[in-house]
């Protein structure tokens, strides 16, 4: 058995900036056995090399569903989530179940539906800035980066406006738990809320929102989503549909404000906004590590033997800073060729919502820089979110 590297020993510095740690691990090899920092605190394999990560993301021997495997992470939190909320959705399904679910969801989550959101996204963006800009300074997360995607995804799915504050609390506890108790509480609350929301949608009859479309969508053979699958898909779309975009917007603004020369380039040439978003996805993407996979059979990754059933974390942030793939990878560079970055994953689990996330981030950045040309950091960003899933800061104080 390989030596276990305890990531908690790197302390708060690992949470604030994990990239130097990932760089040292890459120097030692592309795959390591690590003990995750609290609240997880269990052992897993961690893939930090780009080539190995890209291959692992598309390797069918790495399953998302660990049912029936002898070796599990040993963490009851994961089991509770899988049983109550995450049991039947794309991120925890393998073919042929994944193929079936993705086909059903894709019928409702169309490019046409996403593109039709563009005017509404622009309107929400302008309304948020109308409220924020007269203040002269604000927390960008609270005033802008959070309310934009949560409003978009809630309107898209048909979540009542009165529920959005409570949903934010549940979501925050889930993706960045401060401890086991809060995490499990968020699981229970999310399960109950989503179940009630779906039942309300059924009773209300046909609607134009995405959740209504998912309830009605039917494959050519008459197949449709079960109640448990609907709950899982609603969870995935609500959590993944806004948490990642909040941090994509925040990280893009934060990174540009810390690179004034490149910020000046974007201000001078707004066509560079798309490049800024893509380079942020590579340089400081909102998802640090992909959700767990499990070895469905003994296999090797980067020359490292992994036994059946063992959990594997694929480091998206680590892989996208691999200088073997992206020269001078620790430098933020608007003119870099970012093609092939892994911020949205790779293979059959490539993020379904990538077009929507890009649309929201580009709209937000274009509009913010145009309307607040003197935007600057007002103080250092507050603490980075705990855990190894989401990469972002709790607040981002800015002035203009």
DSSP string, 167-218: HHHHHHHHHS-SSHHHHHHHHHHHHHHHHHHHHHHHHH---SSHHHHHHH--
Starting at the edge strand found earlier in the chain, the sheet holding 137-139 runs 137-139, 397-399, 376-377
Q: Find the domain containing 188 and state its range.
A: 4-399
Q: Among candidates 101, 102, 111, which has minimal Cα distance to 355?
A: 111
In degrees rounded to 5, what are phi and psi of residue 383?
A: -55, 145
What Å distances lie between residue 184 and 48, 72, 83, 383, CA to CA? 29, 19, 12, 23
Lateral strand order in the sheet of 31-35: 4-6, 31-35, 43-47, 311-314, 293-295, 62-63
DSSP 52-69: HHHHHHT-TTEES--TT-
Give the per-residue pLDDT at 230: 85
Q: Is-contact 247 254, C-beta < 8 A?
A: no
Give the pLDDT confidence score for residue 76 in this predicted structure. 47
Q: Please report where in the chains the tokens 């201000």 appear, as a residue.
A: 267
**Per-residue pLDDT tens for 17-66?**
999 999 999 999 999 999 998 877 789 999 999 999 999 999 999 999 88
The low-confidence residues of the chain, meaning pLDDT below 70, are: 1, 70-88, 178-179, 218-221
The answer for residues whose C-beta is within 8 angstroms of residue 38's C-beta and 6 or more apart is: 8
CATH number of the domain within which 172 lies: 1.10.630.10
In this prediction, residue 252 carries a pLDDT of: 98
How far apart CA 249 and CA 62 sit, in angstroms, is 31
Instruction: Decide if 396 contacts 253 (C-beta within 8 A).
Output: yes
- Single pTM value for the model: 0.91
pLDDT at 87: 54
pLDDT of residue 147: 93
pLDDT digits (tens, 9 = 90+) for 112-138: 878 889 999 999 999 999 999 999 999
Distance CA 117, CA 159 (A): 16
Q: What is the pLDDT of residue 194?
A: 83
- Residues 26, 32 contacting (CB under 8 angstroms): no
pLDDT of 221 reads: 65
The total of structural domains in the chain comes to 1
């Amino acid at each position: 058995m390989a030596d276990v590297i305890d990531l908690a020993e790197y302390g708060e510095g690992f949470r604030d900036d994990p990239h130097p740690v990932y760089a040292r691990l890459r120097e030692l090899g592309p795959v390591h056995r690590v003990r995750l920092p609290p609240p997880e605190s269990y052992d897993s394999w961690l893939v930090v090399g780009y080539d190995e990560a890209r291959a692992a993301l598309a390797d069918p021997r790495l399953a998302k569903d660990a049912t029936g495997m002898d070796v599990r992470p040993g963490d009851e939190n994961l089991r509770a989530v899988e049983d109550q909320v995450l049991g039947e959705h794309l991120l925890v399904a393998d073919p042929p179940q994944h193929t079936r679910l993705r086909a059903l969801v894709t019928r409702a989550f169309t490019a046409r539906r996403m593109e039709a959101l563009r005017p509404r996204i622009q309107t929400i963006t302008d309304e948020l800035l109308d409220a924020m800009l007269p203040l002269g300074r604000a927390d960008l997360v609270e005033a802008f980066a959070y309310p934009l995607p949560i409003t978009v995804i809630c309107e898209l799915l048909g979540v009542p406006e009165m529920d959005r504050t409570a949903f934010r609390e549940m979501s925050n506890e889930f993706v960045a738990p401060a401890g086991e108790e809060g995490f499990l509480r968020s699981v229970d609350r999310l399960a109950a809320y989503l179940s009630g929301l779906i039942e309300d949608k059924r009773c209300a009859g046909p609607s134009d929102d995405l959740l209504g479309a998912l309830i009605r969508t039917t494959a050519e053979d008459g197949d449709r989503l079960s109640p448990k699958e609907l709950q899982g898909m609603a969870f995935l779309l609500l959590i993944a549909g806004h948490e990642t975009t909040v941090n994509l917007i925040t990280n893009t603004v934060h990174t540009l404000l810390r690179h004034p020369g490149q910020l000046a380039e974007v201000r001078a040439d707004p066509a560079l906004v798309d490049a800024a978003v893509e380079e942020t996805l590579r340089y400081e993407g909102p998802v640090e590590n992909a959700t767990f996979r499990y070895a469905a059979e003994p296999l090797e990754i980067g020359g490292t033997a992994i036994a059946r059933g063992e959990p594997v974390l694929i480091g998206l942030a680590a892989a996208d800073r691999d200088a073997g793939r992206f020269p001078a990878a620790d430098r933020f560079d608007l003119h870099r060729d970012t093609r092939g970055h892994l911020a949205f994953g790779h293979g059959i689990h490539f993020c379904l919502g990538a077009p929507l996330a890009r649309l929201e981030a580009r709209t937000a950045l274009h509009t913010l820089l145009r309307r607040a040309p003197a935007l600057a950091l007002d103080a250092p960003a507050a603490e980075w979110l705990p855990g190894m899933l989401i990469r972002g800061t709790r607040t981002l104080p800015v002035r203009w």
